[in-house]
Structure 1
């Protein structure tokens, strides 16, 4: 029985008036070609009766990783990243993509030179990020969750206005009666730590106040780094903790030092952990809306991959929110 050959990539390219490379990318779901072109090529191929010889279609894949620290750590245990990953997975699946979550350890830089993804979402990218450097060199579309440490013209990212959020927290604490407000901030090289710290020191300078900054230490469960800050006649009477565990560290420090919250110490923490609503007292938190951020980032990334001319250019700003609870409320005057 004689097999009648079907149309070739060259036949499809000639009919669609594109190159054979464009035909290959369009049929395989790869490359950076315009969405309308991809659809037109597939329609022409179907009209010519083209049947792919692959036994199974290649799954289009997005990657996601947190590259803040060059060491192994389980970022999925942090409420922000956990919620962002869930939302990103859902958004990717809705667009027909798988989502691969990569480990945080950046020690094996060669990994990024062979990573098989159509696009990459990088969270909290610091200066000199080897992953961003390698993927940029390969021409793989990138979107950043948070301003990248080394932003370049044409980069795309989704982030909050951390300066405005920090000022809102500090104004809230001042309005509640706090007079010596401290900041617990990270020592990483990601944009978030730098933006929050700069906003805090600028706020203090405008009010003629000395900045009081305590470095964040994830291993300091008892909050002993706060001891010197919370003792003596000139102790701090409020602290904004810019990282998730900071609220519990402050509650532990206050209990150990015999300080009433919020009577003698007001506490605000940037966190997505719902458990802060059930602490004693419930802790005021700043939410960065990780679900909205992740969905926006995935939509932006898929648009870049598929050459969607309607894709909004970065940066995309997602509003933060202040959830006021008892730990930072104004106290009635003693009478």
Structure 2
């Protein structure tokens, strides 16, 4: 008989509570204090409750995005939509199902009992409770992007965000820009930190002021850019590091009577093909989500099956700058 592992009663005895309390704590139900929920969940994790044992695999992988804990639909974002589609195809090619999990982390409770053979986590922030629970259970995890808390033995797939950010900034400078601004991320994921830190270092190397605004998905009119686009020393180029940023900046430029690219250069990190059809077409940076997803699933399956486990650490996937009209300065007059 296979070892079934710790039971609900085992967790209850170790935590000195009833089995009903354990059930409520792990499922996010009942009227329990936060301290009791945390203690019971920590006990369950320490005992390995719900961890896979020496039985048959479920042949199921999971995928989730844990950057923000609230209920937001990452499937509506072009990058994640394309990544999930590619990951599903790759999982099926290996004979696995792929379960797409919501961004609210299922109230953190399900990670103690989730029945998957391996998990792909995108944009895992520091202190990610889902990553912590799965690591404690011994479930193989591969990260899309550097995990917020890198541990020995971790596996992740990523782009070289430092090189890509420098490529974009140098591209804008070559097109005539002298005051390049950044629309930066508001999350704690490594992508946001890497892009912002590279931009600030690039500005310091050139002795120019860093100009950054925070990305706000709800800011369709691009009001956050207003301070950058006015005055004698206004920005003459912007790198928008998040998907809707290009549309937001086009709206802001129209409001301020600025022409793109004559008065303002623009590059946006996005997988949205619609940017090739805007007026003018917007230059984009693709992080190649399909390549990222396939590489992540291949590595995850290798970890799950264990015959030839890959070495820990990163696998780098190249990003691609698609230069279009919005960042081609041509004969645009250079600002003083």
Q: With structure 1 as the length reference, what TM-score do the two structures score?
A: 0.82
The equivalent residue for 1:204 is 203
| Bigger radius of gyration among the two | 1
CA contact (8 A) 1:71 1:107 kept: no
- 1 CA distance for matches of 2:228 and 2:209? 13
CA deviations over 1:79-113 (Å, ceiling 9, x no partner): 00000000000000000100000000036111111
In the alignment, is residue 215 of structure 1 matched against residue 225 of structure 2?
no
Q: Cα RMSD between the aligned structures?
A: 1.4
- Mapped partners of 2:83, 2:332: distance in 1: 42
The 2-side partners of 1:107 and 1:314 are apart by 28
Q: Secondary structure at the match of 2:171?
A: helix
Matched, 1:258 2:253: no
1:331 aligned counterpart, secondary structure: coil
Aligned residues: 283
Tell me what 1:330 maps to: 329
Contact persistence 2:275–2:282 (CA under 8 A): yes
Distance in structure 2 (CA, Å) of the matches to 1:265 and 1:106: 40
- Contact kept, 8 Å, 1:300 with 1:312, in 2: the verdict is no
Residue pairs, 1:120-269, within 5 angstroms: 120-269=119-268
Give the aligned partner of residue 118 of structure 1: 117
Uncovered stretches (5+) of structure 2, i.e. residues with no partner: 3-52
Q: Are 1:286 and 1:322, in contact at CA under 8 Å, matched by a contact in 2?
A: yes
Inter-partner Cα distance in structure 1 for 2:59 and 2:196: 39
SS in 2 for 1:330: coil
SS at match of 2:296: helix
Runs of 4+ in 1 over 4 A off after TM superposition: none
Shift of 1:314: 2.7
Task: Write the mapping of 1:43-62 to structure 2, written as runs, cut at 5 A.
Answer: 59-62=58-61
Partner of 1:315, secondary structure, is strand
TM-score, length basis structure 2: 0.82
